[in-house]
């Protein structure tokens, strides 16, 4: 049996397990449960079993981010994803949030719109998915074929922005401590931000500033509705998911961080690490997140895989939870970041979630 003083001393030597003040929130450790799509919200309504799922992963003073949640009927791209746009959905989320809060944890909801990453089967009245473009996602070897999207008219964009705003308000009504705007992985916000998918000629296309305008207006609306202290965002400038990539991801990431800094107290920037590439005949990571970490005024959350950072002596930390057993290596690598995030392994192995420190 380990006595309390010994536990405190051990935690103090491990950056991953030290307390952290994130805005107005007090975290007892620096591990965050990543948002993980579950596809078990039948009829787009969260189900009671989600209360068990999330509370099992909750620790006192820990932070959980709920699965990506549709902001409107047009936001859906996968089967049985939850929504936050009807009163029924709001009421269904409440006992789930309460279960997490009873464990002493903090709970954020990730709000998203998939854009063209959808099919007519998921869209109201079988209509085409909406996007920044009418270019269809190039089929890959996964076998999934997404429907050809319809390009949003300029006068339709304010409605989508308002859907994000209302979703944030509904999340707070459901009891969540805040929201994470999904601006990553090839979904709607990235379809505007990245030049491979945005071929518009209006004020939402062309220059970097114009391509980011939609995302910035979403951020502005959500912050105005619920307060900067309740808002984070997920970005993935280096990622090329869903046929969505940018010719200058460094400039894109830097510009978005600068926009976040215009909101004093903006809670966090959650950024996905670059993936490996073949460089000079070796598998390496060409870019890191440290420049963005230095630029951003708030809390920076990194998501990725520590294995590659350790193997290639890369100084920018990434996290893969199967490496938690290699404590000495992992704890030395993460010191440059505020918080690290993991998902898949945490969803399968509850024992990997650090236990409460108090």
Q: Which two tokens stand for residue 158?
A: 């304010």
CA separation for the pair 211, 202 (Å, rounded): 10
CA separation for the pair 282, 87 (Å, rounded): 53
End-to-end CA separation in angstroms for the chain: 16
Which residue of the set 187, 204, 255, 268 is catalytic?
A: 187
Using the CB atoms, write b or e for 217-250: b if 16+ within 10 Å: bbbebbbebbbbbbbbbbbbbbbebbbbbbeebe
CA separation for the pair 348, 291 (Å, rounded): 33
Q: Is 281 left (phi over 0), alpha (psi -120 to 50) or beta?
A: left
CA separation for the pair 343, 68 (Å, rounded): 13
CA separation for the pair 176, 54 (Å, rounded): 13
Q: Is 187 a catalytic residue?
A: yes
CA separation for the pair 193, 198 (Å, rounded): 7
Whether the CB-CB separation of 300 and 339 falls below 8 Å is answered with: yes
Burial (CB count <10 Å: 0-12, 13-18, 19+), residue 271 = buried
Q: List active site positions.
A: 187
């Amino acid at each position: 049996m380990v006595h309390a003083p010994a536990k405190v001393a051990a935690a103090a030597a491990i950056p991953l397990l030290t307390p952290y003040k994130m805005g107005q929130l007090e975290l007892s450790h620096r591990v965050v449960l990543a948002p993980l799509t579950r596809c078990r919200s039948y009829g787009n309504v969260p189900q009671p079993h989600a209360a068990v799922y999330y509370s099992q992963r909750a620790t006192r003073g820990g932070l959980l981010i709920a699965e990506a949640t549709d902001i409107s009927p047009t936001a859906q791209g996968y089967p049985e994803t939850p929504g936050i746009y009807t009163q029924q959905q709001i009421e269904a989320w409440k006992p789930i949030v309460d279960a997490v809060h009873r464990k002493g944890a903090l709970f954020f909801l990730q709000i998203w719109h998939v854009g063209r990453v959808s099919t007519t089967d998921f869209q109201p009245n079988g209509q085409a998915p909406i996007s920044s473009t009418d270019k269809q996602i190039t089929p890959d070897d996964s076998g999934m074929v997404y429907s050809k999207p319809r390009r949003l008219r300029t006068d339709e964009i304010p409605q989508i922005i308002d859907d994000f705003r209302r979703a944030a308000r509904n999340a707070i009504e459901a009891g969540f401590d805040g929201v994470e705007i999904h601006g990553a992985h090839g979904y709607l916000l990235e379809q505007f931000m990245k030049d491979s998918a945005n071929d518009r000629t209006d004020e939402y296309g062309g220059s970097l500033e114009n391509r980011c305008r939609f995302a910035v207006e979403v951020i502005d609306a959500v912050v105005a509705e619920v307060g900067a202290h309740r808002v984070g965002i997920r970005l993935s400038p280096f990622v090329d998911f869903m046929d969505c990539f940018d010719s200058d991801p460094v400039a894109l990431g830097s510009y978005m961080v600068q926009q976040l800094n215009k909101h004093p107290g903006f809670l966090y920037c959650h950024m996905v690490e670059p993936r490996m590439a073949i460089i000079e005949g070796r598998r390496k990571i060409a870019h890191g997140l440290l420049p963005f970490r230095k630029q951003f005024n708030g809390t920076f959350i990194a998501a990725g895989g520590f294995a590659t950072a350790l193997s290639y002596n890369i100084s920018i930390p990434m996290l893969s939870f199967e490496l938690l057993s290699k404590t000495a290596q992992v704890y030395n690598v993460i010191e440059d970041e505020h918080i690290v995030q993991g998902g898949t392994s945490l969803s399968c192995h509850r024992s990997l979630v650090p236990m409460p420190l108090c």
